[in-house]
């Protein structure tokens, strides 16, 4: 089966990773690529390692009214740039929005694919979770679903590689010279990913996420998100691990590990690694989730969502092992 695929936002890191995954997908045929900065170039000029059969495709200027016939469109646009434009995409085109505009928007399924695959299957419009929520919620879901932690007092200390700032965001703060050998907390008490996480925590637990705290940090690495999450709860480490293993039984992309997860375990893959350490005597559960911010945190999860809405095996095009070291 061949599914006609387009990607908009091909100049960015998320769009580029979607391109890599689509290029290796057994059922997807890339027929359209659109970008802002790179319109007019051939794909091979921008991505010198692309397979030869795709290198000649010309990048178009993004125009939702002038799309070729497509089955699926991946949109990876900066937050604020996709809401209006995607509304003009013809109704027959399925859309996975990697950007931030449609998370919990009306008419859009929330694409936390390892947790709610059934809610995504058969949908036309899917909003991909953000990279921080992908790491965080994958780790928390089993605990919340089984009532092992209190939803109202969750503290998320999150760390991201610098590709998370996006390619357009390349001011000197994200330049190598200023980023290397530096560690930067930012966006305290007001990050844009908070509402999405609060809503999902409430959906998973049935309780209020009112006390949610989220602190992101920029780490000098290209890829990777790690969330270290402090919760109140009476479960033991073994109970948490066991709950997660049960919750994700049969799910291909979530690995529950005894050791604390490392971001490099996930590089280049759609995997999420989760682990737990608890001390009931202190009413404490620490949950940890590690993903590749461009994999499970963006394009990997987007392809998984596309597989779900197209009725393909969930792992199609996503079974490559991570790149290590």
Please identify every residue annotated as catalytic. 131
The two three-digit tokens of residue 57, written as one number? 């495709």
Region 263-302 residues binding a copy of itself, contact defined as CB under 8 A = 263-269, 271, 273, 277, 279, 282, 284, 286, 288, 290
> 144 and 198 in contact (C-beta within 8 Å)?
no
Q: How far apart are the first and last CA of the chain?
A: 35
Peptide bond into 139 cis (omega under 30): no
Instruction: Decide whether 52 or 65 has the Cβ nearer to a copy of itself.
Output: 52
What is the enclosing helix (H) or strand (E) of 3?
A: strand 3-8
Region 193-212 residues binding a copy of itself, contact defined as CB under 8 A = 210-211
The tally of CA atoms less than 13 A away on the side-chain side of residue 17 is 26
Taking the complex as a whole, the smallest distance from the CB of residue 170 to a copy of itself amounts, in Å, to: 4
> 75 and 95 in contact (C-beta within 8 Å)?
yes
> 50 and 24 in contact (C-beta within 8 Å)?
no
- Identify which range of 81-89, 116-124, 138-146, 217-225 contacts a copy of itself by CB under 8 A: 217-225
Region 144-183 residues binding a copy of itself, contact defined as CB under 8 A = 155, 157, 159, 161-163, 165, 167-168, 170-172, 174-183
Residue 28 as a binder of a copy of itself (CB under 8 A): the answer is no
- Checking DSSP bridges between strand 184-185 and strand 125-127, what pairing results, if any? unpaired
The two three-digit tokens of residue 257, written as one number? 């590990």
> 23 and 30 in contact (C-beta within 8 Å)?
yes
Taking the complex as a whole, the smallest distance from the CB of residue 267 to a copy of itself amounts, in Å, to: 7
Taking the complex as a whole, the smallest distance from the CB of residue 108 to a copy of itself amounts, in Å, to: 28
Report the C-alpha gap between 135 and 160 in whole angstroms: 10
Total residues at interface with a copy of itself (CB under 8 A): 82
Instruction: Decide whether 105 or 188 has the Cβ nearer to a copy of itself.
Output: 188
- Checking DSSP bridges between strand 125-127 and strand 109-110, what pairing results, if any? parallel
Taking the complex as a whole, the smallest distance from the CB of residue 97 to a copy of itself amounts, in Å, to: 22
Taking the complex as a whole, the smallest distance from the CB of residue 197 to a copy of itself amounts, in Å, to: 15
> 76 and 18 in contact (C-beta within 8 Å)?
yes
Region 83-112 residues binding a copy of itself, contact defined as CB under 8 A = none
Report the C-alpha gap between 86 and 105 in whole angstroms: 13
The two three-digit tokens of residue 82, written as one number? 């996709």
Residue 39 as a binder of a copy of itself (CB under 8 A): the answer is no
The two three-digit tokens of residue 100, written as one number? 């931030």
Residue of 224, 233, 297, 300 that binds a copy of itself (CB under 8 A):
224
Instruction: Decide whether 24 or 117 has the Cβ nearer to a copy of itself.
Output: 24
Report the C-alpha gap between 39 and 13 in whole angstroms: 16
Taking the complex as a whole, the smallest distance from the CB of residue 238 to a copy of itself amounts, in Å, to: 14
Residue of 78, 217, 236, 245 that binds a copy of itself (CB under 8 A):
217
Residue 51 as a binder of a copy of itself (CB under 8 A): the answer is yes
Taking the complex as a whole, the smallest distance from the CB of residue 103 to a copy of itself amounts, in Å, to: 23
What is the enclosing helix (H) or strand (E) of 174?
A: none
Residue 249 as a binder of a copy of itself (CB under 8 A): the answer is no
Residue 248 as a binder of a copy of itself (CB under 8 A): the answer is no
Instruction: Decide whether 83 or 277 has the Cβ nearer to a copy of itself.
Output: 277
As a residue count, the chain comes to 325
Residue of 185, 206, 311, 313 that binds a copy of itself (CB under 8 A):
185
Q: What are phi and psi of 109, to 5 degrees?
A: -75, 145
Instruction: Decide whether 146 or 160 has the Cβ nearer to a copy of itself.
Output: 160
């Amino acid at each position: 089966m061949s599914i006609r695929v387009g990607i908009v936002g091909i100049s960015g890191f998320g769009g580029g990773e979607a391109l890599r995954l689509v290029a290796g997908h057994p059922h997807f045929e890339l027929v359209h690529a659109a970008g802002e900065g790179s319109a007019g170039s051939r794909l091979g000029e921008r991505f010198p390692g692309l397979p030869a059969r795709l290198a000649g495709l010309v990048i178009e200027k993004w125009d939702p009214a002038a799309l070729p016939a497509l089955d699926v469109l991946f949109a990876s646009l900066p937050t604020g740039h996709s809401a209006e434009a995607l509304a003009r995409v013809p109704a027959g085109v399925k859309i996975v929005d990697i950007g931030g505009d449609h998370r919990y928007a009306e008419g859009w399924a929330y694409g936390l694919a390892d947790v709610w695959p059934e809610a995504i299957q058969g949908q036309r419009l899917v909003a991909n979770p953000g990279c921080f929520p992908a790491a965080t919620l994958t780790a928390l879901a089993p605990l919340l679903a089984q009532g092992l932690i209190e939803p109202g007092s969750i503290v998320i200390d999150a760390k991201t590689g610098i590709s998370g700032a996006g390619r357009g965001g390349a001011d000197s703060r994200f330049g190598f010279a200023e980023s290397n050998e530096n560690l930067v907390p930012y966006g305290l008490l007001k990050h844009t990913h908070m509402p999405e996480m609060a809503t999902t925590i409430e959906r998973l637990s049935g309780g209020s996420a009112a006390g949610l705290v989220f602190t992101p940090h920029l780490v000098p690495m290209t890829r990777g998100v790690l969330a270290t999450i402090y919760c109140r709860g009476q479960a033991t480490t073994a109970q948490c691990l066991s709950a997660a293993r049960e919750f994700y039984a049969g799910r291909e992309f979530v690995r529950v590990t005894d050791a604390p997860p490392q971001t490099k375990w996930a590089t280049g893959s759609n995997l999420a690694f989760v682990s737990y350490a608890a001390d009931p005597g202190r009413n404490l559960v620490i949950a940890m989730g590690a993903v590749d911010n461009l994999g499970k945190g963006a394009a990997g999860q987007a392809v998984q969502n596309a597989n779900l809405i197209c009725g393909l095996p969930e792992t199609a095009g996503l079974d490559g092992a991570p790149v290590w070291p």
